[in-house]
Amino acid sequence: MTKNKKKLTVSKGKKNESVTVTKNSLKFLSWNIQAPSTTEGNKFQIKEFKNVLQSNDFICLQETRREVHLTGYRAECNYRKDNKCGGVTILVKNEYRQGVEFIKDKNHADYLVCRLKKTFFRQAEDIFIVNAYVRPHNSSGSKTDSGREMMSKIEEIVNDLRLKGDVVLCGDFNARIANQTGTIERETNDFLPMPEDYEPDIHKPRNSEDTVKNSFCKQFINLVSNNQLQILNGCTLGDFRGQFTSIQPRGCSVIDYFTVSSKLRNHVNFMKVQDLTMYSDHRPLVMELRSPPIKVEPSKPLHEVYEKSSPRFIFNETTRTTFTDSLSSDSATDALNKLNANI
């Protein structure tokens, strides 16, 4: 695995020194957080919860239900008006905000797209992050929000985006696929007439702690296969076992995934399923993508950006007299007359 090397360059001779950091990799997190609040209050105000998020460059959250914010990140949210379920959010570190563009579909609250501009990130193609949440097949949601319809919508979106660039598709798909890969083994174009730009699948066997297939399995595998995406769970450094991602009292499953375009597959440093936390019964997934060197200016804390304000004027019997005397002084009168004359 290639380590993330950082290089600091400071331009001297300026009042506000400019610091640029050169980064050679990008970190992505995907996590179903099961609502933005807990009995302790707003999760985004809890230190332990924020610690899970803040080491990542791009954060894809599912079931956020409403607007959420995290210091140091630009947030884009998509959610239903009733705020009762679903909803997705993508958080982008401030130093990358000029290099991204969000694509939101107000008619479908359970997916969101973020375009990483190739010129900013020095890529051959734009990269499209698709953050998705597919409701369970037994969900009580309305018919228009059914899991099958959302899966079809995601396939439609990915099929369009893959013609414009590379795709990182992640989220909670509620699809149990056992050790299915979504790729064709020993595929070749030697004997069948194929388009000149067609590239055979890169087949890598997958492991999975989840041996069950559910009703969404076939549809999710078709989504992956039809768009030549590669599932990272169970066949990538950091997760060769295909660890459980959803931990429930009635059983565990793998239903949260990271998938990438075939062209990006060899640039993946690792994909890990992180430890379970007390803030969700889903485990966070983290993926690191190797990239050409990118120079960015890290966002600074507010106390470094703004100068301290002047002390407040405290009124009491003594200062009240001083204040009224100052207003009636000759210098104050002259200043007010000049200001009035220039209006």
- As a whole number of angstroms, the distance between CA 27 and CA 40 comes to 28
Is there a contact between 122 and 292 (Cβ–Cβ < 8 Å)?
A: yes
- Which pLDDT band holds residue 197 (cuts at 50, 70, 90)? low
The per-residue pLDDT for range 91-109, each reduced to its tens digit, is: 999 999 999 999 999 899 9
Is the pLDDT at 306 greater than 90? The verdict is no
Residue 110 · residue 98 · CB < 8 Å? no
Instruction: Tell me the C-alpha distance between 259 and 204, whole Å.
Output: 13
Query: Is this structure's pTM higher than 0.85?
Result: no
Of 102, 50, 49, 48, which is closest to residue 72 (Cα–Cα)?
50
pLDDT in tens, 242-269: 999 999 999 999 999 999 999 999 999 9
Q: What is the pLDDT of residues 12-47, one digit of tens each?
A: 435 455 678 889 999 999 999 999 999 889 999 999
Q: Which residue has the higher pLDDT, 213 or 297?
A: 213
What per-residue confidence (pLDDT) applies to 34? 94
Q: How confident is the model at residue 9 (pLDDT cuts 50, 70, 90)?
A: very low
List CB contacts of 228: < 8 A, sequence separation 6 or more.
162, 199, 201, 261, 262
The 10s digit of each residue's pLDDT in 128-142 is 999 999 999 776 554
- Give me 119's structure tokens: 């010129």
Rg (CA), the chain: 26
Q: How confident is the model at residue 305 (pLDDT cuts 50, 70, 90)?
A: very low
Distance CA 92, CA 121 (A): 13
- DSSP bridge partners of 19: 10
Q: What is the mean pLDDT of the chain?
A: 86
